[in-house]
Structure 1
Amino acid sequence: MSIQPKKKIIAISYLFPNCNQPNHGIFVLNRLKAMSKYADITVINPIADSPLHRKISKFTHLHNIPQLEVINGISVYHPGFFSIPGHLKSLEMLTYRRAVQKVLDEIGYDFDLIDLHWTFPDLPCGNWLSKKINKPFHVTLRGMEAFHLQDSGLRKYIVAYYLKKANKVISLSEEMARKADELSNTAERTVVIRNGVDTDKFYYLEQSECREKLALSQNEKIILGVGALIHRKGFDLVIKGLEQVITTQGLENTKFYILGAQGPEGDYRKELNQFIEQHKLQKNVVFVGAVDNSQLITWYNAADVFCLASRGEGSPNVLTEALACGLPAVATNVGSVPEIMASEKYLGYCVANEDQQMISTKLIRLLEQPHNRKQQATNFNKYTWDWCAKEVLQTLI
């Protein structure tokens, strides 16, 4: 029997890690790394560039990125494309495509499939390449922001138009799949596949040992939140509800540890501190700051409950990481959260978005009831990035 050659896939993604931003779009790398076991993967990750980018300090992370990196055995090309921060975004349809074309002119166009991981400017570029080499292209929807619905410019119309052209649409959640169909009639071409989790990095550990390692009290009840300090992450909902957890249930030894720093959507810490002072929770809320990815497993296993009170998500990695460690969760029904929380029994509770009362009620329930964390971790560890990669490739090839 002859061995079938691996399919050659060109992945184009505005979101992708590089030497200066090792965690930027890490979820894209994780999926492609898993797919690379079964297909030949090449990545083009254009980097925004202009004289303004070189002068403005907040864009320094875009400087000095090599044209080619090899990341986890995958060749990743980083051509620059002209972009004016905050202006003339529709111009990027042309400059982004030219950057991709420059790479392909050097490495060749011999690919079987075009794999896009963002919508703009990836979609117009993918459509152009699909026509040029007569190969299908598909796109993954990774968050409601991918539709650019709040954009005052043309991007939302461009995205809606080119979604109609995609051969396949992979959505991380039913929520996004419904929105894509509403905008671009994609239902017959759409499959829902959420992100996987790296179970080599996130798994069950003894809680007492993890608390000792982090110098945390063995006696306190710990609620854990992980994410950028921005309004969308909903930390304010947990803080406001924490007063009820402490006063009405006699759980005075409860603490809410927040792991994260300011994000691209701003810094909400001042407002969070106001809520903390208003509810007299200075002793119960702890801002840990940014934590290295390698330390998250210790925090997940040290906590009693994970809370994701987010107002909007795609497929939240922090939730699947926590669940893979055996940590039960209370999470709002945004993005792929409903699918994640329904994938196994006894993972915790999925509550309505911005329902502060229900968040508090379910936190209390999880803090008071026993939970077989080791069994949860065992049950959840099947949802790996390898599982995700196989689901994707089965759909596309």
Structure 2
Amino acid sequence: SIRRAICHRLPRADRLVTVSRPLADRAFELGFPADRLAVVPNGVDRGVFFPRDRSLSRRELNLPDGRLILFVGRLEAAKGVVDLLQAFDQIAPSAPDLFLALVGDGSEMARCREAQEKWPGRVFLPGAQSLPEVARWMAACDVLTLPSWNEGTPNVLLEAITCGRRVVATRVGGIPDVLSTPALGEMVSPRRPEELAHALSRVAREHYDSMTIAACGAPDWDTSAGLLYQVLRSAYDGTALPRELLAGFGRMV
């Protein structure tokens, strides 16, 4: 099995790099030595993803005033798209100023179009977009949501936070590591549309400072690459990993 193969090969590695603490925790549980285990977070293109004026972005996209919930990703059931549509059905009747945009494509597009017909003028389906356009949609939204059933460490959350936008996402994979403080948003259980609806309704209406959120964003790719270089250099030289790459592993070191 894959698990057996991983367990067999892990001890042979001079270094193991993960993109989140939960993955590092798992590697440690499988027996990988803490002093050879590093976390190097993914980076974000800060030339594309950065805080910008919400009203201006909405005018550029011809979006109405109100509160905008944004999903970016594959339109698949496992990404929680159906759960999101059900959640919107629950909150839309009592919140006429609430809108939903789903940026992407996938097998659930037909169901998304049904929602668009059910809520005319309130559900937007621009399809798959380039990264600069994704950043524009992020700037236009009030909250980004990712209600996936399972995840690794999704870059879309890192990008949204770097744009200064709060997040509602499921408590799976590396997401708790990304949403490390309640100021960044809320986490919900997967496959729970009602719980998702309540969280989206709250977060979409809460006022927050975009620059404060953006300050918690991911490093740029040059910084991420620099950290990875330090790991590779330590393996080549046979020296200890820099302590900052081991930070956050209190029970490991």
TM-score range, shorter chain: 0.7 to 0.9
Q: Aligned residue for 2:189?
A: 352
Tell me, yes or no, if the aligned pair for 2:162 and 2:218 is still in contact at 8 Å.
no
Question: Greater relative contact order: 1 or 2 (C-alpha under 8 angstroms, separation 6 or more)?
Answer: 2
Query: Could you tell me which amino acid in structure 2 is paired with residue 241 of structure 1?
Result: A
Q: Aligned residue for 2:109?
A: 269
Tell me if 1:294 matches 2:132.
yes
Query: Could you tell me which amino acid in structure 1 is paired with residue 59 of structure 2?
Result: E
| CA distance, structure 2, for counterparts of residue 353 and residue 192 of structure 1 | 26
| CA distance, structure 2, for counterparts of residue 334 and residue 187 of structure 1 | 25
Deviation at 1:201, TM superposition (A): 1.3
Query: Over aligned residue pairs, what C-alpha RMSD do you find?
Result: 2.5
Query: Could you tell me which amino acid in structure 1 is paired with residue 224 of structure 2?
Result: C
Q: Aligned residue for 2:239?
A: none
Deviation at 1:380, TM superposition (A): 2.7
| CA distance, structure 2, for counterparts of residue 297 and residue 257 of structure 1 | 13
| CA distance, structure 1, for counterparts of residue 122 and residue 78 of structure 2 | 22
Deviation at 1:224, TM superposition (A): 0.4
Listed one character per residue, the Cα deviations across residues 167-189 of structure 1 (whole Å, up to 9, x for unaligned) are 2222223333344445x422534
Query: Could you tell me which amino acid in structure 2 is paired with residue 329 of structure 1?
Result: V
Deviation at 1:345, TM superposition (A): 6.0
Deviation at 1:236, TM superposition (A): 1.4
Q: Aligned residue for 1:194?
A: 41
Tell me if 1:315 matches 2:159.
no
Tell me, yes or no, if the aligned pair for 2:184 and 2:213 is still in contact at 8 Å.
yes
Tell me, yes or no, if the aligned pair for 2:159 and 2:218 is still in contact at 8 Å.
no
Tell me, yes or no, if the aligned pair for 1:260 and 1:290 is still in contact at 8 Å.
yes
Unaligned runs of 5+ in 1: 1-153
Q: Aligned residue for 2:90?
A: 244
Counterpart pick for 2:98 among 254, 262, 277: 254
Tell me, yes or no, if the aligned pair for 1:222 and 1:256 is still in contact at 8 Å.
yes
Q: Aligned residue for 1:210?
A: 57
Counterpart pick for 1:391 among 224, 227, 231: 227
Deviation at 1:273, TM superposition (A): 5.2
Deviation at 1:234, TM superposition (A): 0.9
| CA distance, structure 2, for counterparts of residue 356 and residue 192 of structure 1 | 33
Counterpart pick for 2:212 among 375, 383, 390: 375
Listed one character per residue, the Cα deviations across residues 45-90 of structure 1 (whole Å, up to 9, x for unaligned) are xxxxxxxxxxxxxxxxxxxxxxxxxxxxxxxxxxxxxxxxxxxxxx
Query: Could you tell me which amino acid in structure 2 is paired with residue 231 of structure 1?
Result: A
Q: 1:381 to 1:173 in 2, by over 3 A?
A: closer
Listed one character per residue, the Cα deviations across residues 245-298 of structure 1 (whole Å, up to 9, x for unaligned) are 223xx3123221111113xxxx23345556x38x94455332211101121221
Listed one character per residue, the Cα deviations across residues 179-224 of structure 1 (whole Å, up to 9, x for unaligned) are 4445x4225343333212121211111111111111111x232100
Tell me if 1:226 matches 2:75.
no
Give the length in aligned residue pairs. Answer: 232
| CA distance, structure 2, for counterparts of residue 292 and residue 169 of structure 1 | 32
Q: 1:354 to 1:192 in 2, by over 3 A?
A: farther
Instruction: Name the TM-score, length of structure 1 as normaliser.
Output: 0.53
Q: Which has more strand, going by share of residues? A: 1
Quick check: which has more Rg, 1 or 2? 1
Unaligned runs of 5+ in 2: 235-253
Q: Which runs of structure 2 are paired with 1:70-219 in the superposition (5 Å)?
A: 154-182=1-29, 184-188=30-34, 189-217=36-64, 219=65
